[in-house]
A and B are shown apart, each in its own frame.
Chain A
Amino acid sequence: MLSSPARKLLLIFLLVVIAAYISIPPVIPVSIHFGPINLDKNLIRRGLNYSFGSINIQKSFDLILGLDLAGGSHLVFEVDTQNIAGDKKETAVQATRNVMERRVNLFGVSEPNVQISSFEGRDRVIVELPGIHETREAVELIGKTAQLIFAEVGSEEKPGLIHTNLTGADLKSADVSFDQTTGNPVVVIQFTQEGTKKFADLTSKNVGRPLPILLDEVPISSPIVQEGITGGSAQISGEFALEEAKNLSIQLNAGALPVPVSLVEQRTVGATLGAEAVDASVQAGLLGLGFVLLYMILAYGRLGIVASFALLIFGVLTLSLYKLIPVVLTLPGVAGFLLSVGMAVDSNILIFERFKEERIRRPFADALEVSFGRAWDSIRDANIATLVTAFVLANPLDWNFLHTSGPVRGFAITLSLGIAISLFTGIVVSRNLLRVFIKESKR
């Protein structure tokens, strides 16, 4: 029967195999041209895709890259809540965020991120758009209040445009279409029941006169009413390019922003810079890891080899955890990971140094066990300090007075995860590996 440490090792081994499977990239090109063998195939690592009965499990096990690695835009809009009463501010900001998110989703960005951040009375909505580099359209689309109001042309007593009570809120849907006659893009709108009634009244009252349609107080279309329209649908035809028509329909569908917003911060990373950064990170990671392994083996001999295994296991477990949670990986996040590799090694070093000392005064097996125990105190105390700092930086509870987004947080999250896992590999994995594989050398 296998000894207890060996059994634990078996469990660890199984865990590692699963983790390794999750870690490897989804497509591995295999290309072997050697002698008679000519092989050019792509190995595909499938994700999880099971459905039995009503249960449907789907997970793709891909690494989610942050904006600075994948390329994309980070926009920050400040919400102007000046005119809103104190207790209604929060709802207004939340509503604004929701409308923005609807617009972003309709825009068709994959994996966008829209969140609120408040600090000292300033409310902001942060929008992250992976893969979008040309931001002009996105900013227009998301940042425009887009309040649609139907107006009547005034008369001599009351000149100017008079707002009616028919607004964008009375719309059921908006779609892009093409004018039958001119072929120009138009936006076709459908009113709700109430809207249909209002529209019918309005058009009957104004036959023969223009009925201006205002978007944020600017007339975008001013059709002349031919007859009362009871069908509940209308067509907005202005001088639209196709893009403008699409954006307008998105804005109408998502609704108007309850409060105005302005862009206060924008960061865009082009895809090339992102791809370079990914390559650089991978290279740095591999090189650093290589050095560390070499050093450990030179400094600690057999023990060093065990530590190297533990380190590789650490790497695989961490990577698979990033994919499972998932953690969005940014460049500082990579730095956090590399730093935690260094700290993971520290746990091992503490154990080994202690072992060297204990070996002098005790028999081998005792020395091993004692060194684990004694080293654990140091490891725990020392790592807690780093964990506390990383915790404060990562701000998982979303406290407003600390960072709520950005590179700092990304770094802290990978660092904390890395340290937590390193505690596991340092103590559980290294311990059992050492127990099973390091036998006293026969004299």
Chain B
Amino acid sequence: MDWLKYRKLYFSISTILIVMGIISLYTFGLKLGVDFKGGAILEYKLENDISTEEVARKIEEQNIEITSIQTVGDKTYLFRLPPIGQEEKDKIKNVVTETVKGEVEELRFETVGPTIGPELVKKTLYAVAVASAAILIWVAIQFKSLKFGASAILAMFHDSFILIGAFSLLGYLLDAEVDFLFVTALLTTLSFSVHDTIVVFDRIREISKIEGRPLARKASSPEGELNKVANKALTETMVRSLNNSFTIIFMLTALLLLGGSTIKWFATALLIGTILGTYSSPFVAVPLLITWDNLAEKIRRRK
């Protein structure tokens, strides 16, 4: 089947998704968690329900600034504030205990100073840079041509960007936060995207070898040749790609359903990333490869 005939369609879909991402980021921004911005969160499980306005007011009377109090579960409340020390934490606990007139159980407490966040961003950018460079070099060596590596990396960035855009939207609609774990999911998506893309490229390389048309001895191939090989490769790998994604999606869905609140958005990010990674290999990386190849061929002809 000629998958690549519809290149323009695939590029349009990708462009729409990317533009949506840009709009969302511009309008809503990213909901950054405590890990990035600094701040404190305090999660309590109480014996009775409380009025969050009343508690917030009482805490502010103690001269402690409160950003928000959220109900996150059955009689479970999440307090968000700027970074606090032990004293303020004790005061808050007293206020809550008074208001509840019952048991107060502290489920978790995190306070992060303002310098930690920017550090995390830097470390992550370094990690992405190093990982991308390493992958690019590996692919270039294995496939003996830059266009494969470049297409794979572009598809990778495509997936990452759409994931970030998706979380900007989710952050606005469902309060999804971007934290350490999101960064992990992002990096995993990168690698999964490349993993999937390489399987297809690998098949392209193999078919070229079998049909006596070795790849990339020149920078480009006669028009339509790579196209034919690529189409064949896509057909042959499509089933395997879907099967593999299904198994990973099963595992992640199980994690999402059962994993509890702390890991919910992490699992969601991984799930979105996996779906994007699967989509991008046949419908972004390969079309990019073909387009690059065609352009290079046209340039060569003109010379």
- A349 and B243 within 8 A (CB): yes
* B138 within 8 Å of A (CB atoms): yes
* B212 within 8 Å of A (CB atoms): no
- A345 and B247 within 8 A (CB): yes
Stretch at the interface among B8-16, B197-205, B282-290, B294-302: B197-205
Q: B138 — which chain A residues lie within 8 A by C-beta?
A: 384-385, 388
Q: Which residue of B lies closest to A119 (CB)?
A: B119
- A388 and B134 within 8 A (CB): yes
* B181 within 8 Å of A (CB atoms): yes
- A284 and B198 within 8 A (CB): no
- A267 and B108 within 8 A (CB): yes
* A40 within 8 Å of B (CB atoms): no
Cross-interface CB contact of B110 among A266, A272, A296, A401, cutoff 8 Å: A266
* A341 within 8 Å of B (CB atoms): yes
Known: A288-B250, A335-B263, A338-B252. A403 touches B86 (CB 8 A): no
Known: A139-B86, A378-B202, A402-B127. A265 touches B113 (CB 8 A): yes
- A265 and B184 within 8 A (CB): no
**B199 to nearest A CB, angstroms?**
5
Q: Which residue of A lies closest to B236 (CB)?
A: A357
**B105 to nearest A CB, angstroms?**
7
Q: A321 — which chain B residues lie within 8 A by C-beta?
A: none
- Chain A, residues 284-295, CB within 8 Å of chain B (1/0): the string is 110111011001
Cα A76 to Cα B120 in complex, Å, equals 14
**B240 to nearest A CB, angstroms?**
4
- B191 and A389 within 8 A (CB): yes
Cα A263 to Cα B113 in complex, Å, equals 9
Q: A383 — which chain B residues lie within 8 A by C-beta?
A: 195
- A284 and B181 within 8 A (CB): no
**Interface members, chain A 290-313 (any B CB < 8 Å):** 291-292, 295-296, 299
Stretch at the interface among B20-28, B168-176, B253-261: B253-261
Cross-interface CB contact of B251 among A342, A384, A411, cutoff 8 Å: A342
- B192 and A335 within 8 A (CB): no
Cross-interface CB contact of B247 among A269, A270, A292, cutoff 8 Å: A292
Q: B270 — which chain A residues lie within 8 A by C-beta?
A: 335, 339
Q: B109 — which chain A residues lie within 8 A by C-beta?
A: 135, 266-268
Cross-interface CB contact of A381 among B43, B106, B142, cutoff 8 Å: B142
Q: Which residue of A lies closest to B243 (CB)?
A: A349
Main SS of chain B's interface residues? helix
- B195 and A280 within 8 A (CB): no
Q: Which of A295, A299, A332 has the most CB of B within 10 A?
A: A332
* A152 within 8 Å of B (CB atoms): no
- A402 and B188 within 8 A (CB): no
Q: How large is the interface on A (under 10, 10 to 19, 20 to 34, 35 or more residues)?
A: 35 or more
Count how many chain B residues have C-beta atoms less than 8 Å from C-beta atoms of the other chain. 68
Q: B178 — which chain A residues lie within 8 A by C-beta?
A: none
**A409 to nearest B CB, angstroms?**
9
**Interface members, chain A 334-353 (any B CB < 8 Å):** 334-335, 338-339, 341-343, 345-346, 349-350, 353
**Interface members, chain B 208-245 (any A CB < 8 Å):** 236, 239-240, 243-244
Known: A135-B86, A357-B236, A408-B183. A385 touches B191 (CB 8 A): yes
Q: Which residue of B lies closest to A76 (CB)?
A: B116
Q: B206 — which chain A residues lie within 8 A by C-beta?
A: 374, 377
Q: Which of A135, A335, A353, A385 has the most CB of B within 10 A?
A: A385
- A288 and B240 within 8 A (CB): no
**B225 to nearest A CB, angstroms?**
22
Cα A415 to Cα B119 in complex, Å, equals 24
- B191 and A390 within 8 A (CB): yes
* B64 within 8 Å of A (CB atoms): no
* B19 within 8 Å of A (CB atoms): no
* B267 within 8 Å of A (CB atoms): yes
Cα A182 to Cα B253 in complex, Å, equals 65
Q: A406 — which chain B residues lie within 8 A by C-beta?
A: 180
* B77 within 8 Å of A (CB atoms): no
Cα A36 to Cα B228 in complex, Å, equals 72
- B244 and A377 within 8 A (CB): no
Cross-interface CB contact of A408 among B113, B119, B180, B257, cutoff 8 Å: B180
- Chain A, residues 94-137, CB within 8 Å of chain B (1/0): the string is 00000000000000000000000001101000000000010110
* A386 within 8 Å of B (CB atoms): yes
Cross-interface CB contact of B259 among A280, A289, A377, cutoff 8 Å: A280
**Interface members, chain A 313-344 (any B CB < 8 Å):** 331-332, 334-335, 338-339, 341-343
- A287 and B195 within 8 A (CB): no
- Can you list 20 A-B contacts (CB < 8 A)? A68-B262, A122-B119, A139-B86, A264-B112, A264-B113, A273-B108, A284-B254, A332-B184, A341-B251, A346-B248, A350-B240, A382-B202, A385-B135, A386-B192, A389-B194, A392-B127, A392-B130, A402-B123, A408-B181, A411-B184
B interface residue numbers (CB < 8 A to A): 43, 45, 85-86, 90, 105-113, 115-116, 119, 122-123, 126-127, 130-131, 134-135, 138-139, 142, 180-181, 183-184, 187-188, 190-192, 194-196, 198-199, 202-203, 206, 236, 239-240, 243-244, 246-248, 250-255, 257-260, 262-263, 266-267, 270
Besides A119-B123, A382-B199, 6 new A-B residue pairs in contact (Cβ under 8 A), listed by A number: A78-B113, A288-B250, A299-B243, A332-B181, A343-B195, A389-B131
